[in-house]
Structure 1
Amino acid sequence: MTTPAVSSRDLPHPLRDEVRLEGVLHALADPMRLRIVRELATASGELSCSHFELPVTKSTTTHHFRVLRESGVIRQVYRGTAKMNGLRRDDLEALFPGLLDALLEAATRQAARLAD
């Protein structure tokens, strides 16, 4: 069962045991969501939604973050008025050892290949 929202500012997240491989793969199959995850993976901490400059509308950006959160790839929390995002690396590594690193490495190689 997902973590219940305690207040209107708490966002529901799946518990570790609820995260499904097909949900993670679906979330990461979209280029914009993969871009968000790649950026979060290189960050030293959480990043606000407004940090990301995506070539899509604000509502589409919100949708991408929701898909990532609901699939268990990221954790979102409010800090003041900012919605902060962090990669759930520990949960993903415990459930699917090596998957996130392999996907991120493949995405980096693909980006380099397509830039040529």
Structure 2
Amino acid sequence: MPDVERSDADEMELSVVLSALADNNRLAIVCALLADAEGAERHCSSFGLPVTKATLTHHFRVLRTAGLIRQVNRGNSNMAQLRRAELTARFPGLIELLEAENRRRAATSSH
């Protein structure tokens, strides 16, 4: 799969999106972005994942290629932003499912 950001919602493939979300680290990134205000950007190192920089780069590439996030170059760093509107347009209900998963994860981690 080429390393390109899916620009149109119509280009997003459900199997690719679900495959990207199947990894717990990538799901954690998406859930963290969901918890932020719509349109918020986060530095890629701000997610606190226990992985190497190379692995983190890989996870963001998979998310970007699937169309889940966009990365914006801000000088010396890349900022990640959830493509909420595009995901809602292409896969109605997916954001709500991810938000429910985010709440479930929060409830589980507090016990």
For the criterion TM > 0.5, the same-fold answer is yes
Which of the two has higher C-alpha Rg?
Answer: 1
Q: Alpha-carbon deviations, 1:53-81, whole Å to 9, x = none?
A: 11111111111000000000000110111
Residue 68 (structure 2) pairs with residue 76 (structure 1): no
Q: Deviations over 1:14-70 (max 9, x none)?
A: 122110111111111111001111111112310011212111111111110000000
TM-score normalised to structure 2 length? 0.86
Of 85-94 and 49-58, more deviation after overlay is shown by: 49-58
Structure 1 vs Structure 2 CA RMSD: 1.8
State yes or no: 1:93 paired with 2:85. Answer: no
Matched, 1:21 2:21: no
Alignment gaps of 5+ in structure 2: none
The 2-side partners of 1:65 and 1:100 are apart by: 18
Give the superposition deviation at 1:114. Answer: 5.7
How big is the shift at 1:108? Answer: 2.4
TM superposition score normalised by structure 1? 0.82
Q: Distance in 2 between matches of 1:13 and 1:38?
A: 19
Give, as a single letter, the amino acid of the residue that structure 1 aligns with 2:84: R
The answer to whether the 8 A contact 2:31-2:98 is kept is no
- Number of equivalent positions: 107
Structure with the bigger RCO (C-alpha within 8 Å, sep 6+) is 2
CA 1:91–1:31 in 2, change beyond 3 Å: closer, same or farther?
Answer: same
Residues in 2 aligned to 1:113 and 1:50: alpha-carbon distance in whole angstroms: 24
Candidates 94, 104, 109, aligned match of 1:109: 104
CA distance in 2, matches of 1:51, 1:114: 19
Q: Which runs of 5+ in 1 are unaligned?
A: 3-10
Q: Distance in 1 between matches of 2:75 and 2:105?
A: 37
